[in-house]
Amino acid sequence: MKKQYILIATFLLGTLLSCSNGEKADGYGNFEATEIIVSSEANGKLEFLNLEEGQIIEKGAVIALVDTLQLYLNKQQMLASKETVASKSGGVWSQVSVLNEQLQTAKLEQQRIQKMFADKAATQRQLDVANSQADVLKKQIQNVEKQNAPIVNEVKAIEAKVAQINDQIAKSKITNPITGTVLTKFAEPGEIVSFGKPLYKIANMDEMTLRVYLSETQLANIKIGQQITVKIDSGDEMKDYEGSISWISASAEFTPKIIQTKEERVNLVYAVKVNVKNDGSLKIGMPAEMWIQ
């Protein structure tokens, strides 16, 4: 029995020695990705939503459409109103055209009288009458043009409303903002959606970000742009990836809440982000190890 105790003690001691001599990762963390929630910018019935969770969608693809019938009818009403108001402007400009012709005739008469007056073939009274007729026509033209100003402003207001409706119609068509993988689908075709309602969540999974926390003593060994090794569990072994440090926190913080022991919770650490190319195996939330050397 004593010999058996000696063997067990020898085995435990060897195990402890082997653990103490083994390599240890420089940091531990989880993978993240920039997630974008795409929401509706219009109110109405969702006509279609062409995506499924896990699907890869290209940037600029038309994903969904909110019913635009009411917007289209409002636009047609505005265009009809614009034509009605513009017709009033046409009548005003026709009056201006007639007055301009009369003004040209009056100016010719004015020039003829002025020449005759210079040759003492016309009286001062005739010259005054010719000048007065030209001035009166100029004032009439100005008055008629002023009548057209409110019409022009009304036409501009209608054009602004039409542009606003066109913008609302364009926003009823949901365009995918980035190339990425659909993470979550929040709506289904046929639902009534409102402005700001989330439709789906998407993220670019081609490059993942590993967020790890390092102690102050480890900061001297890293810098932005430095190449490091990232390891994940792969069966009984570890799978290696090449990573690049993209960000180092400028201020310290307490260790994340996932650290449970009291001793580790009071330690101050610095957050570090590492960019890693994804071969399809990396997922959001997956744990990983950071190896500086």
What is the pLDDT, as a whole number, of residue 18?
A: 36
What fold is seen in the domain 35-67+173-203?
OB fold (Dihydrolipoamide Acetyltransferase, E2P) (2.40.50)
Q: From CA 160, how far away is CA 154, in angstroms rounded?
A: 10
Cβ proximity of 77 and 168 under 8 Å: no
Domain ranges of the chain: 27-33+204-292, 35-67+173-203, 69-171
Predicted confidence (pLDDT) at residue 260 exceeds the cutoff of 70: no
Q: How far apart are CA 89 and CA 77, in angstroms?
A: 19
pLDDT per position as a tens digit, 198-252: 999 999 999 999 999 998 888 888 999 999 999 999 888 899 999 999 999 988 8
What secondary structure does DSSP assign to 259-282, as a single string?
Answer: --SHHHHT-EEEEEEEEEE--S--
**Could you give the CA distance from residue 54 to residue 278 in angstroms, rounded to a whole number?**
15
- Same-fold call for 27-33+204-292 versus 35-67+173-203: no
Q: Which pLDDT tens digit goes with each residue over 270-292? A: 999 999 999 999 999 999 999 98
**Whether the predicted pLDDT of 165 surpasses 90:** yes
Task: Give the model's confidence band at 117: pLDDT under 50 very low, under 70 low, under 90 confident, else very high.
Answer: confident
- CATH fold of 27-33+204-292 reads Elongation Factor Tu (Ef-tu); domain 3 (2.40.30)
Instruction: Report the greatest alpha carbon distance in the chain.
Output: 153
